[in-house]
């Protein structure tokens, strides 16, 4: 099964990709374009053929095979706790990476796996 992972994407697209109110079968690209009032530019993935956000900072293309999992974690969440089974590794799907595309000096909009920044700055941790 072809898969693509994009990071450093438009915040509206990130929101749409995690919003559970987007109906099944509705393209997150179309949904985001509706919010922004203009289409989201995509390119066809050279390996997977999937639509990829044209302005993403990093995109990984690959394959996932049903049932192929590997133990992962534990990883801390930004709220200061450990997800899934606490401190135990959990089986997660494997992505067989086939291609990586990136901008020079990409800017990644990511949440770090620690307590919320405002708590650190206030000395609440």
Active site residue ranges? 77
- The answer to whether the CB of 78 falls within 8 A of the CB of 112 is yes
β pairing state of 69-72 and 42-44: unpaired
- The answer to whether the CB of 84 falls within 8 A of the CB of 117 is no
Instruction: Compute how many other C-beta atoms are within 10 angstroms of the C-beta atom of residue 60.
Output: 19
């Amino acid at each position: 099964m072809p898969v693509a992972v994009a990071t450093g994407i438009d915040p509206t697209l990130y929101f749409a990709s995690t919003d559970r109110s987007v109906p099944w079968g509705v393209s997150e690209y179309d949904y985001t374009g509706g919010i922004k009032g203009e289409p989201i530019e995509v390119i066809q993935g050279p390996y997977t053929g999937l639509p990829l956000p044209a302005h993403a900072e990093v995109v990984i293309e690959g394959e996932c095979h049903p049932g192929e999992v590997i133990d992962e974690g534990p990883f801390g969440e930004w709220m200061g706790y450990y997800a899934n089974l606490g401190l135990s590794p959990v089986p997660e799907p494997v992505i067989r990476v086939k291609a990586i595309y990136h901008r020079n000096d990409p800017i990644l909009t990511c949440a770090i796996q620690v307590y919320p920044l405002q708590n650190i700055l206030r000395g609440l941790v």
